[in-house]
Structure 1
Amino acid sequence: MASDIMDYSINGLPLHILIVHAVVIVVPVAAIVVLLAAVWRRARRWFGLVTPILGVIAAVLVFVAKEAGEWLKDRLPDSPLIQEHTDLGDTLLPWTIALAVLSIVVHVWYRVVEKRAADDAPSPLVRRIVAIVLAVAAVVVVPAGIITTVIIGESGSRAVWEGSFSDTPLEE
């Protein structure tokens, strides 16, 4: 495993705690962009290459966060909250890979279809079927990816902060 041979820290801070901030922003943004691009022609034109770029960046960030998280887990005392977060963390990468693939397929399909001459383009039936399949895929992948990101983030926050602060201000 890569986490065994790499140092996932920056200036003494675990990379995981830094990169998860990018994950919780980029994954939902990429997901929303992919959904909009899958179902709305104007959004496809606005976003252009941003759609597949964000999808791929989301998957890469999640992969690095997962590897850095494994590295960090090996350096923390074992606890049920950390184990729960680790188990949940393993579920996000498949969703973001699906998001990356979908972002590329949506971009390439519509670029190819929109660039072809009318006599060389797929039939209206094929275009309609592909549009429906891409929209359904987006409607499944996007919410699942966002919800999974939120659940994992909440479990990580709980693992770090539960029992480590006071509900009331401390006396000075």
Structure 2
Amino acid sequence: MEINGLPLHVLVVHAAVVLTPIAGLAAIAYALVPRWRDWLRWPVAVAVVAAVGAVWVAFLSGGDFRDTDRFAGATGEFATKLQDHEDLGGILRWVASGFGVLTLAAVALHDRTGVVRILLSAVVVATAVATVVLTVMTGDSGAQAVWGT
């Protein structure tokens, strides 16, 4: 799919690369700073849904983009870099989805305290960090495939 002659993937990856770290950092703040929790509850929920949606659209549009004639003759180092990017994108979509589900669960269980709050906070922080790291790795691998020397 294209928008004004540009492949959708090329456009939507920017949303994923920007929104996902913002959602991750907001979720970490939500989990670790109790006095901000009430204020961050709904912005985190919206940010996580938008980020996970952007990751999925980037993944799906990337598959369509990869299937175009533009990449039919990809060989050598370029093909290897492209495959690395595709593999990381496949992992990212599931890690981001897990992050989204766990963060939305933490938001839904907002009033919980004690061990439940500690466990929710721990899994939100862990999945947020994993999602942000994978987002950076996936974006970098795509940029290296296209722009690297």
TM-score (normalised: structure 1): 0.78
The aligned length equals: 142
**What's the % identity of the aligned pairs?**
32
C-alpha distance in 2 between matches for 1:59 and 1:97: 6
Q: Deviations over 1:79-99 (max 9, x none)?
A: 111111111110111111112
**Bigger Rg over Cα:** 1
C-alpha distance in 2 between matches for 1:11 and 1:27: 25
Task: Return the offset for 1:58.
Answer: 1.0
Residue of structure 1 in register with 2:93 after alignment: 93
Match of 2:9 among 6, 12, 16: 16
Flag as ranges the 4+ runs of structure 1 deviating above 4 A. Answer: none
Find out whether 1:145 has 2:135 as its counterpart.
no
Find out whether 1:51 has 2:66 as its counterpart.
no
Amino acid of the structure 1 residue aligned with 2:145: A
Task: Return the offset for 1:41.
Answer: 2.1
Q: Deviations over 1:54-93 (max 9, x none)?
A: 1111111111000100011111133111111111110111
Match of 1:159 among 121, 135, 145: 145
Q: Deviations over 1:128-150 (max 9, x none)?
A: 11111012102310111111011
Task: Return the offset for 1:20.
Answer: 0.8
C-alpha distance in 1 between matches for 2:29 and 2:42: 13
C-alpha distance in 1 between matches for 2:41 and 2:132: 22
Q: Deviations over 1:150-170 (max 9, x none)?
A: 11111100110123xxxxxxx
C-alpha distance in 2 between matches for 1:102 and 1:39: 15
C-alpha distance in 2 between matches for 1:14 and 1:89: 17
Mark the runs of 5 or more structure 2 residues left unpaired by the alignment: none
C-alpha distance in 2 between matches for 1:92 and 1:108: 24
C-alpha distance in 1 between matches for 2:80 and 2:35: 47
Residue of structure 2 in register with 1:3 after alignment: none
Residue of structure 2 in register with 1:37 after alignment: 30
C-alpha distance in 1 between matches for 2:114 and 2:17: 33
Q: Which has the higher helix share?
A: 2
C-alpha distance in 2 between matches for 1:161 and 1:33: 31
Amino acid of the structure 2 residue aligned with 1:89: G
TM-score (normalised: structure 2): 0.89
Amino acid of the structure 2 residue aligned with 1:14: P
Alpha-carbon RMSD across the aligned residues, in angstroms, is 1.4
